[in-house]
Chain A
Amino acid sequence: MTRLFTSSFSHLILFIGIFIMIVPVWLIFASSTHSSLSINTQGLQVYLGDRFVENYIRVLLYKGGFFKEITALKMFFNSFIMATGVAILSVVTSLMAAYALVYYRIKYATLLFWIIFITILVPLELRIFPTYSVMAKLNLVNSYFGLIVPISASAVATLFFRQFYKTVPDELLESAKLDGANTWRFFIDFLVPLSKTMIVAMLIFMFVFGYNQYLWPLLVTSQEQYWTVVMGLKMMSGSIVHRFAFVMMSMIPPILIIVILQRHFIKGVFQDK
């Protein structure tokens, strides 16, 4: 009896949570399928309207911004490039950094690791001006490279991979050595496949991290053709329903990534070994 009570009670709490999270999303979605006139006169809508296709297609192809140079479609493309770039670059660098920290005979490897680790305490916002000035000097403002590189060093991912490598038994390395594997082969043939699920999990984290960047793209892109979705939400002009439609669409890529990779993701985060 108590079990039934606790389980229905916890379900009740979960349902309330879901309700609180879903309702605003639903209101925006429902409203985005009406005309701006009905939103302006009657407020947010609970029921679906009849202008779904019209509104969404217009948003995707409408040239917005100050100079009317960029469409939402292009922003999605930019965001995709940026998020993918950040995800891949940060995972590759963290994998290699962790490899060097654990397996190379580096003096003060632990100290170096902690120095890398404390960069977590220095968020992008804090170093944004020096970073910008470096990018400007390198002539990388208004480029994909400039969007991606400065946020692609991840101390968290390095930490994850390092801790994982430390649990890999030494015999595996020794055995691989005797089997003729050199430094590079051990990395590619052993550590990378062994950390596969973790790599997938990190790719998802870093994709969403890159996708959600707001301040940095805003600063480093003055040309509208490099605008990304999250900053575009703010910069995009247009009527209220179109903005709603854009907001709805901006949620799709991260959701899609998680849905596609969730099996690996769950395995990666709760990996027992």
Chain B
Amino acid sequence: MSFLELKKVTKIYPNGTKAVQTTSLNIEKGEFMVFVGPSGCGKSTLLRMVAGLEDITTGDIELDKKIINKIDPSERDVAMVFQNYALYPHMNVYNNLAYGLKNRGLAKDVIEKKVNAAAKLLQISDYLERRPALLSGGQRQRVAMGRAIVRSPKIFLFDEPLSNLDAKLRIQMRLEIKKLQRKVGVTSIFVTHDQVEAMTLADRLAVINNGIIEQLGTPIEIYNNPTSVFVAGFIGSPQMNFIEGELKNNKFKTQAFEITGIKSDFDGKVILGVRPEHLVQANNGLIKFNVDLVEKLGSDNLVYGEIKDKKDLLCYRTPGNEKINSGSKLALNIQENKLYIFNKKTGKRII
């Protein structure tokens, strides 16, 4: 029983660009779904198709058991928060919130009640008389969300709404969006290119690349079990380390080191992936590592450098209290069961 269902949806622009390739997806009622991917991967297009702002080339979109392909955006009962907020500059905050309700022909006192309730929820009651131009970035963001909430739509769509805010405010608003969504309980789709945002907000995550959903799952599932090189590299910060090599007779081999006992009979060129947080120092560690640069974050140190005898760059994460100087030599082991091996040709996970 899914609430929003995309059935084999594609989007091909008139100039032949395939923005979204055959995509099927079910979203449950009340679920917070995040589309994440690099810019130009089609995630926004997919969202705008749900909103009705882009035509669907083939396939169906079903919302609440009704196919909405041909329904006008204004009739779909969806609300969207845009990247630049798209507040109505000539209306004050109250009217910004009330406009959608007025168009639905609600009575004045009902509108007032709803707007005031939404304003209270978002703590913008003090600014109701102000024009958007007089608000700060965070306040505008709230108004934009208020405009979505006040209509109590079937689904919220967020199109990178946090990318115009400064770093601190972004984290704060991220938390607020999550809390708000829980409180209101409306099904939401959130588009972002920021994997941290994606991980923290999502109930489920769709990693999109080149118009295809590469992997779908909860954030932790995707972090623990990426199915492709792309997903592995995209989710997690700092990025997963990739080392190219060869797999033969259950043995991974590079010039620098070998790993035996790999449970796969694949034969050929592969990529070894290991996350910075899954490396540990050991006296006679497998990977000999020359430290180039240490980023001290306080809680953690991010140690960057090169693998000895192999020019691959590597990042290694240690607790912040550990003292490592640049120029020192380390030996690292990979924690048990924390290595990933991908087929170099297809990018798919082998183990």
A178-209, CB under 8 A of B: which get 1 and which 0? 11111001000110011010000000000000
Residues on the A chain within 8 Å of B80, using CB: 174-175, 178
Asked, given contacts A169-B84, A174-B80, whether A179 binds B90 with beta carbons under 8 Å apart, the answer is no
A169 touches B88 (CB 8 A): no
B73 touches A177 (CB 8 A): yes
Asked, given contacts A177-B53, A179-B74, A181-B74, whether A171 binds B86 with beta carbons under 8 Å apart, the answer is yes
Closest CB in chain A relative to B295 CB, distance in Å: 37
A178 touches B104 (CB 8 A): no
- Complex CA gap A178/B75 in Å reads 8
Residues on the A chain within 8 Å of B72, using CB: 177
Query: Interface extent on A, as a size class?
Result: 10 to 19
- Complex CA gap A177/B89 in Å reads 16
B99 on the interface (CB 8 Å rule)? yes
Residues on the A chain within 8 Å of B103, using CB: 179-181, 185
Closest CB in chain B relative to A271 CB, distance in Å: 13
Asked, given contacts A181-B74, A182-B74, whether A175 binds B86 with beta carbons under 8 Å apart, the answer is yes
Asked, given contacts A179-B147, A190-B88, A194-B90, whether A174 binds B53 with beta carbons under 8 Å apart, the answer is yes
Most buried by B among A172, A178, A180: A178
Query: Interface extent on B, as a size class?
Result: 20 to 34
For window 151-178 of chain B, which residues contact chain A by CB distance below 8 Å? 151
Residues on the B chain within 8 Å of A185, using CB: 103
* Closest B residue to A173 using CB positions: B86
A180 touches B104 (CB 8 A): yes
Pick from A171, A180, A182: contact of B84, CB under 8 Å: A171
B88 touches A171 (CB 8 A): no
B334 on the interface (CB 8 Å rule)? no
Asked, given contacts A174-B53, A174-B80, whether A179 binds B99 with beta carbons under 8 Å apart, the answer is yes
B55-93, CB under 8 A of A: which get 1 and which 0? 000000000000000001111101110111010111000
B137 on the interface (CB 8 Å rule)? no
Most buried by A among B90, B104, B151: B90
B38 on the interface (CB 8 Å rule)? no
B315 on the interface (CB 8 Å rule)? no
A174 touches B82 (CB 8 A): yes
Residues on the A chain within 8 Å of B79, using CB: 178
Residues on the A chain within 8 Å of B78, using CB: 178
B119 on the interface (CB 8 Å rule)? no
B236 on the interface (CB 8 Å rule)? no
Residues on the A chain within 8 Å of B84, using CB: 169, 171
B233 on the interface (CB 8 Å rule)? no
* Closest B residue to A168 using CB positions: B89
Residues on the A chain within 8 Å of B74, using CB: 177-182
- Complex CA gap A179/B89 in Å reads 15
Residues on the B chain within 8 Å of A180, using CB: 74-75, 100, 103-104
- Complex CA gap A189/B89 in Å reads 11
A175 touches B90 (CB 8 A): no
B51 on the interface (CB 8 Å rule)? yes
A169 touches B90 (CB 8 A): no
- Complex CA gap A171/B74 in Å reads 14
Closest CB in chain B relative to A191 CB, distance in Å: 10
Residues on the A chain within 8 Å of B90, using CB: 190, 193-194, 196
Closest CB in chain A relative to B195 CB, distance in Å: 25
Most buried by B among A171, A172, A175: A175
Besides A172-B86, A180-B103, 12 more A-B contacts (Cβ < 8 Å) are A171-B84, A174-B73, A174-B86, A177-B52, A177-B53, A177-B72, A177-B73, A178-B80, A179-B74, A179-B100, A185-B103, A189-B99
List 14 contacting pairs A-B, 8 Å CB cutoff, sorted by A: A171-B82, A174-B53, A175-B86, A176-B99, A178-B78, A178-B100, A179-B99, A179-B100, A179-B147, A181-B103, A182-B74, A190-B88, A194-B89, A196-B90
Going nearest first, the 6 A-B pairs with the smallest beta carbon separation are A180-B103, A171-B86, A179-B100, A175-B86, A180-B74, A193-B90
* Residues of B bordering A, CB below 8 Å: 51-53, 72-76, 78-80, 82-84, 86, 88-90, 99-100, 103-104, 147, 151
